[in-house]
Amino acid sequence: MTKIQDFITAKEKLSKVLLKTSLIQSPIFSKEAGNEVYIKPENLQKTGSFKIRGAYNKITNLSDEEKKKGVIASSAGNHAQGVAYGAKESGIKAVIVMPKSTPLIKVESTKQYGAEVVLHGDVYDDAFKKAKELEEKEGYIFVHPFDDEDVIYGQGTIALEILEELPETDIILVPIGGGGLISGIACAAKILKPEIKIIGVEPDGAASAYEAIKEDKVVELKEANTIADGTAVKKIGNITFEYIKKYVDEIITVSDYELMEAFLLLVEKHKIIAENSGILPLAALKKLKEKIKKWYLS
């Protein structure tokens, strides 16, 4: 059973590598939502996203024997850089398999952290299969982007920071891709403050968690079609599904049009450029029933 100590231990380990991302109170989104809204700017982390948390926690928890084998991951971006950074800090080998369609800037950023990059296939699923082949063949340790307890504990450290800074938080809105981020945040937040409400947000075109909860089992969508590419996941994890079922109160879906509206407002009013996946909670604000509450958006 997951204990709060799992998240506290992860937070202690991460203290060496994380940048402090203090909450930003948002007058414009507060007005739009009829609530007091705060933004957690995880795009300011060293690798550009929260993914450094889970990847680093997983890698530091490997045994010396496992570290000698090196790690492998498949990713088109943020997870790749998180794993590459974590491996570099631990002084171990990292191989990242990326689809051939990955933007050059993300490939180069991953290489700059010392990782070996293998370009394979046209989509993420192809890269994932190749990574699993190399894991089998070379004996690497596979670092899953979301369906892993250590990764989940790392991502959940965000909840500890929010409740430390703003203990009166009523609701936390979290984007859902594979489910690692919301699993960690929801579990840690509910242990610390059982009455807190956790709302997941998915794109209309890739609502795999919404469908899984509706069907009460993990389902694979026919396609994942959205501008929020970081959450374009056809199938959530088996581990994350159990966390979501247990700790998440509600899932809201938003359209690509609603995402673009929120993106432009964030740029105009806060001068913050964020990935579409990170903007999902902002796009969901208009759809909330609750009013005059304190909100945090991951």
pLDDT in tens, 235-282: 999 999 999 999 999 999 999 999 999 999 999 999 999 999 999 999
DSSP-assigned letters across all residues of 150-204: HHHHHHHHHHHHHHHH-TT--EEEEE-SSSHHHHHHHHHHHHH-TT-EEEEEEEG
| Structural domains of the chain, with CATH | 4-49+148-296 (3.40.50.1100), 71-139 (3.40.50.1100)
Give the tens place of pLDDT for each residue, 206-231.
Answer: 999 999 999 999 999 998 889 998 88
pLDDT at 224: 87
Separation CA 225–CA 204 (nearest Å): 8
pLDDT attached to residue 289: 86
Residue with tokens 């370009």: 119
Q: How far is CA 195 from CA 40, 41, 105, 170, in A?
A: 21, 24, 43, 8
Decide if pLDDT at 298 tops 80.
no
**What's the pLDDT score for residue 102?**
84
For residue 284, count CB atoms less than 10 angstroms from its CB and return exposed for 0-12, middle for 13-18, buried for 19 or more: buried
157, pLDDT greater than 70? yes
Q: How far is CA 240 from the centre of its chain?
A: 12
Q: Which two tokens stand for residue 201?
A: 């947000």
Residue with tokens 């496992």: 66
Which one, of 276, 270, 272, lies nearest residue 257 by Cα?
A: 276
Average pLDDT, the chain: 94
DSSP 295: E
Q: Which two tokens stand for residue 251?
A: 């899932």
**Which stretch of DSSP H or E encloses residue 280?**
helix 276-284
Distance CA 82, CA 256 (A): 27
